Amino acid sequence: MSAPAHDSDLRAARSEHSRRALFAGSVGNFIEWYEFGVYGYFATIIAARFFTPEGGSEVEALVKTYASFALAFFFRPVGAALFGRLGDRIGRRPVLILVIALMTAATTLIGMLPTYATVGALAPWLLTFLRVLQGLSAGGEFGGAVSVMTEFAPPGRRGLYGSWQSFTVALGLLAGAGVAALLATVLGAGELEDWGWRLPFLLTLPLGLGALWLRLRLDETPSFERERQGERPPGREVARAIALGAGRVMGWAAAGYTFLVVLPSYLQSTLNATFQQALLATVLTNLGFAATIVPAGWLSDRIGRRPVMLTGAVLVTVLAIPLLNLLHNTGTSNGVKGVAVFLAGAVVGLMAGPGPAMLSEMFPTSVRYTGLGLAYALSNAVFSGCAGLIITETIKRTGSVDIPAYYAAATCAVSALALATLRPGEER
C-alpha cells in the first residue's frame, strides 16, 4: 500500500518542480524581450533623444540607435560564454539569479538616463553602456533558462516545455507593444517624446523583482546534480555543435527580429505609416507568432524537431517577398495586410517553438548551458542584433524597399540547409 502512495507523492513533487522551473525559466526571458521590444518600438524617439545633436540627420540618428542595439547583441556571446561556464560549473540556479538582477538594474536605469539635450555627447555613451550590460545578462539568460526548463521537463515533453521560452518572447514583445500603444493613445506626442518613453523601462523594476523571487525558490536541476563532475566533450566537438546550432536558428533569429521588432520603424520610415499603425501591425505579427509556438513545440515531441522547423524556414524563404509586396501595394485592403503580417509571425513560430529543445539536445549536460547559450547568442548577435542596422542602412544606400524580405528569405534558406542535417537520433 505504501509504494503506490510514495510513487504518487514523487510524481506530484516532480510535477511541482517542473512547473516551478517553467515559470522561473521563462519569466526572465519575458523581461528581456519586453525591453528589447520597447527599445525597438521607441527607436525613432530614442534616436531623437540620445543620438541627434542640433542639426543632425534623423536617418543618421536612427542608424546610430540600431548600432547601439546591435552592440548589445554582440555582447550576448560574451555573456553566454561567461555565465554559461559558471552555470556549467556551479549550477543553473545561482547564475540565473545573478543575470536577472543585472538585467533588471540595467533596464530600469535606461528609464532614468539624461538625454543629449541635458548632458550632450555623454548621453549616447551612457545608453550604450547600459545596453552592453543588458547584452551580457541576456547572453547568460537563454542558456540557463532553457537548460532548466528542458532538464526539468517530463520525458517526451522537452519540445513543449522548451517552447515556453519562445512563447515568452512573443509575450514580452506583445507586452512592450501594448505598453507603447497605450502610452501613444493616452499621451500627446510631446509628452510621449519628452518623458512618456521612460515609463516602459521603469516598469521593468517590479517585473524584475518578481522574477528574482521566483528564481530564489528554484531548485537545482537533477541532471546537473547527477553530472556535476561529469566528463566534458572535446572543445573542437563543442565548437562544431555551436556553429551548427547557430546555423539552424539563424533564420528564426533574422526573420523573427525583422518581422517582430524592426517592422514598426520600417513601416514608419519607408511606408509612411503612423506610429499607431506600425504598432498595430506589430501586435498582429506577434499574435501570429504566439499562436503557433506552443503547438509547434508540442508537435515536435510527436513527429520530431526537423520537419516542424524545416517547414517554417522554407515557408519564410518562399513567402517573405510576396508578403512584403502586399504591404507595399496601396490597393491592398487593411484587412488583407493584417492577415499577411499575422501569417508572417505564425511561420516564424514554427521555428521558434521546437528551437530551444533542439539546441538543448545538441549538448550534453556538462556543457549545455554554455553550448546552447553560445549557439543562440552568436546567431542573434549577427542576424537579430544587426537586422535593424543592416536593413535601414541598405535601404538608405540602395533605395530598395524590399530589403527586409530579401534578408529574411536569404537567412531562412541557409537555416533550412542546416536543419536538413538534423537527424532523429539527436533528439535525445
What cell numbers appear for 326 in the block?
502586399
332 secondary structure, DSSP code = S
Selected residue with higher pLDDT from 35 and 204: 204
Alpha-carbon distances, residue 216 vs 122, 150, 152 (angstroms): 36, 19, 16
pLDDT in tens, 393-420: 787 788 787 888 899 999 999 999 999 9
C-alpha to C-alpha distance for 193 and 126, rounded to whole angstroms? 19
Whether residue 36 contacts residue 170, with contact meaning beta carbons closer than 8 Å, is answered with: no
Mean pLDDT of the region 283-309: 92
Q: Which amino acid is at 423?
A: R
C-alpha to C-alpha distance for 397 and 105, rounded to whole angstroms? 38
Alpha-carbon distances, residue 37 vs 30, 43, 172, 288 (angstroms): 10, 10, 7, 16
C-alpha to C-alpha distance for 35 and 100, rounded to whole angstroms? 13
Question: How big is the chain by its Cα radius of gyration, in Å?
Answer: 21
CATH 3.40.50.880 fits 10-426, yes or no: no
CA torsion through residues 49, 52, 53, 56, sign: negative
* 107 SS3 class: helix
Q: What is the pLDDT of residue 164?
A: 92
Residue 335 confidence (pLDDT) above 70: yes
Mean pLDDT of the region 42-63: 66
Whether residue 356 contacts residue 149, with contact meaning beta carbons closer than 8 Å, is answered with: yes
- Which of 368, 342, 343 has the alpha carbon at shortest distance from 356? 368
Q: What is the pLDDT of residue 6?
A: 42
Selected residue with higher pLDDT from 98 and 39: 98
CB within 8 Å of 169: residues ≥ 6 apart: 29, 33, 256, 289, 352
Residue 228 confidence (pLDDT) above 80: no
* 63 SS3 class: helix
Whether residue 282 contacts residue 374, with contact meaning beta carbons closer than 8 Å, is answered with: no
Q: How confident is the model at residue 295 (pLDDT cuts 50, 70, 90)?
A: very high
Mean pLDDT of the region 207-217: 91
Whether residue 345 contacts residue 286, with contact meaning beta carbons closer than 8 Å, is answered with: yes
The string of DSSP codes covering 268-292 is HHHH---HHHHHHHHHHHHHHHHHH
Nearest-5° angle of CA 137, CA 77, CA 358? 95
What cell numbers appear for 340 in the block?
499577411
- Which of 253, 250, 262 has the alpha carbon at shortest distance from 388? 262
* 380 SS3 class: helix
pLDDT in tens, 135-153: 899 889 989 999 999 988 8
Q: Where are the domains of the chain?
A: 10-426
CB within 8 Å of 294: residues ≥ 6 apart: 160, 163, 164, 167, 353
C-alpha to C-alpha distance for 30 and 33, rounded to whole angstroms? 5
CB within 8 Å of 236: residues ≥ 6 apart: none
Cα 397 to chain centroid, rounded: 28
pLDDT in tens, 53-88: 654 555 556 666 666 666 777 888 999 999 999 999
Whether residue 196 contacts residue 41, with contact meaning beta carbons closer than 8 Å, is answered with: no
- Which of 74, 62, 64, 133 has the alpha carbon at shortest distance from 104? 133
